[in-house]
Amino acid sequence: MGIYEQKSQWKIGLLMAAILIIAASLLYTNRLASNLAEEERQKLKLLYDTLKDMNNILYEDPSKLAKGGHGHGHTYAFMMRVTNSNTSIPVILTNANGKITSHKNLNDDIPSSPKTKTDSTFLYRQLASMKRTYAPIQMMSKTLGDDGTVYEQEQYVYYNDSKFLYQLKIYPFIQLGIISLFLGIAYLAFSAARRAEQNKVWLGMAKETAHQLGTPISSMVGWVELLKVTEDPSGTAQMAGVELNKDVKRLEKIAERFSKIGSKPELKATNIVKLTERTVNYVRRRASNKIEISYTFSSNPIMVNLNGILFDWVIENLLKNALDAMESEGKISVELKEENNNVLIAVTDSGKGIPKSKFKTVFEPGYSTKKRGWGLGLSLSKRIVEIYHSGKIFVHHSGVNKGTCFHVIVPKI
């Protein structure tokens, strides 16, 4: 299993663990909230049962309360303390016709203007909200008419969650939001630090590679010059010197590429049409006769700020990857055109294609589908295009066994 498959499985595992933790936290908090809601309902029921009893005591003999007879005065005082203990649960009392007769603990929700504190529109809006939240508590009370007739009156107690219960319900979401924000910031910070560390490693490796190549190349240049002046009637030495000189030039170009990618390269105004054409012709001469490589470009020069050595490497990498994707035969097309203030280079092949899930992974260091590949070509190409040339490189489209199209976009001068 490759490192990127393992990385993907770790991400899935961590995501599932996070979902389980979130679900458990929400379930536990909702259970607490439900228990608290039931406790508040029972508290309300007790309060209004107390009110009903107080009402009945008043109906039986109001004079006993003043005299304290039969313990009713102490009972009434206790009941008053019980009813006054509700300082958090919003309640509204209505008669059988739905008319509001009393309310409590709504002041915090009512605007500070004295006029609006008794605004019936606000009160009935609160009543409608309570009706949607919980079923009311029904209670019967007795009243004594002026003519001595006893009336039984049906009343309903509507209520809503207290502020504490509401805060308890939304607490998990606030907590998860804060944790998610913290984890997101931490992830971005660690990712940035890791990328910076990787960049230092790549830059150091590139510089060291260029340095190590320099010594044998210098030596080879000397041997090539010696072969050129060697007396050889058959001309073998001179021919070997010419061919070796070509390889030395190629090695010098490779060393120069690594040297430039190890530091910020110098950009110069370059005709990108000619540069791309030269690279296409170079790869075409070395490709199989069974592979057709075509190049479509503008007839006019297009000037772009480029480092020719590095940008040539990008096009070469894309073409070589296309050759590897087709193995023995197929077609490669390179199209260069202007798009507004940019230049677009599209490299399309008829090879084995890339799964959509790997469109971004192919640019990661070390990712390769080839047994002998190091997985650095596209990673270095992305760095060259996006960091050094302020452009973009991406998989435009691809399908398994249908080929792949890469797009490279760089700004014009």
Poorest-confidence range of 1-10, 57-66, 161-170?
57-66
Judged on CB neighbours under 10 Å (0-12, 13-18, 19+), 69 is exposed
Q: Is the pLDDT of residue 111 over 80?
A: no
At residue 21 the predicted structure's pLDDT band, cuts being 50, 70 and 90, is confident
Strands (E) across 112-219 are located at 137-144, 150-159
Judged on CB neighbours under 10 Å (0-12, 13-18, 19+), 209 is middle
- pLDDT value of position 277: 94
Higher pLDDT, 212 or 67: 212
- pLDDT value of position 5: 62
Q: Is the pLDDT of residue 383 over 80?
A: yes
- pLDDT value of position 71: 44
How confident is the model over 232-246, as pLDDT tens digits? 777 777 777 777 877
Q: Is the pLDDT of residue 348 over 90?
A: yes
How confident is the model over 190-200, as pLDDT tens digits? 778 777 766 66
Phi and psi of 103, rounded to 5°?
Answer: -155, 160
Provide mean pLDDT across the span 121-140: 84
Distances in Å between the Cα of 253 and the Cα atoms of 80, 167, 312 are 96, 67, 11
Cα–Cα dist 216/132, whole Å: 85
Let me know: does 40 contact 86? Beta carbons within 8 Å. Answer: no
Q: Indicate the pairing of strand 137-144 with strand 100-104.
A: unpaired
300 forms beta bridges with none
Q: Indicate the pairing of strand 303-306 with strand 342-349.
A: unpaired
- Four-point Cα dihedral 392, 397, 401, 403, nearest 10: -60
- pLDDT value of position 72: 46
Q: Is the pLDDT of residue 108 over 60?
A: no
SS3 245: helix
Judged on CB neighbours under 10 Å (0-12, 13-18, 19+), 185 is exposed
Poorest-confidence range of 5-9, 166-170, 332-336?
5-9
- pLDDT value of position 403: 92
- pLDDT value of position 37: 72
Please tell me the pTM assigned to this model. Answer: 0.53
Let me know: does 288 contact 329? Beta carbons within 8 Å. Answer: yes
- pLDDT value of position 70: 45
Higher pLDDT, 197 or 128: 128
- Amino acid letter, 303: M
- pLDDT value of position 315: 95
Cα–Cα dist 221/330, whole Å: 38
Cα–Cα dist 399/70, whole Å: 93
Q: Indicate the pairing of strand 291-296 with strand 137-144.
A: unpaired
User: What's the mean per-residue pLDDT of the chain?
Assistant: 78
Cα–Cα dist 169/173, whole Å: 8
Q: Is the pLDDT of residue 106 over 70?
A: yes
At residue 55 the predicted structure's pLDDT band, cuts being 50, 70 and 90, is low
- pLDDT value of position 373: 56
At residue 82 the predicted structure's pLDDT band, cuts being 50, 70 and 90, is low
Cα–Cα dist 383/60, whole Å: 92
The residues, any chain, with a CB within 8 Å of residue 103's CB and separated by 6 or more, are 90, 91, 92, 93, 123, 126
Q: Is the pLDDT of residue 407 over 90?
A: yes
Provide mean pLDDT across the span 301-321: 92
% of the chain at pLDDT higher than 70:
76
* Number of residues written out for the chain: 413
- pLDDT value of position 112: 43
Cα–Cα dist 34/68, whole Å: 41
Cα–Cα dist 124/405, whole Å: 65
Domain 265-411 superfamily per CATH: Histidine kinase-like ATPase, C-terminal domain (3.30.565.10)
Looking at mean pLDDT, say which of 20-29, 70-79, 149-158, 329-338 comes out highest: 329-338
Higher pLDDT, 49 or 383: 383
- pLDDT value of position 3: 54
How confident is the model over 83-97, as pLDDT tens digits? 566 677 788 888 888
Let me know the angle formed at the C-alpha of 305 by 296 and 256, rounded to the nearest 5 degrees: 95
Handedness of CA 202, 205, 210, 211 (dihedral sign): positive
**DSSP letter for each residue of 294-309:** EEE--SS--EEEE-HH
Task: Give the CB-side neighbour count of residue 81, counting CA atoms within 13 A.
Answer: 5
- pLDDT value of position 265: 81
Cα–Cα dist 401/404, whole Å: 9
Identify the CA nearest to 52 among candidates 142, 120, 132.
Answer: 142
- pLDDT value of position 67: 44
Provide mean pLDDT across the span 152-162: 81
Poorest-confidence range of 141-155, 287-301, 308-322, 383-397?
141-155
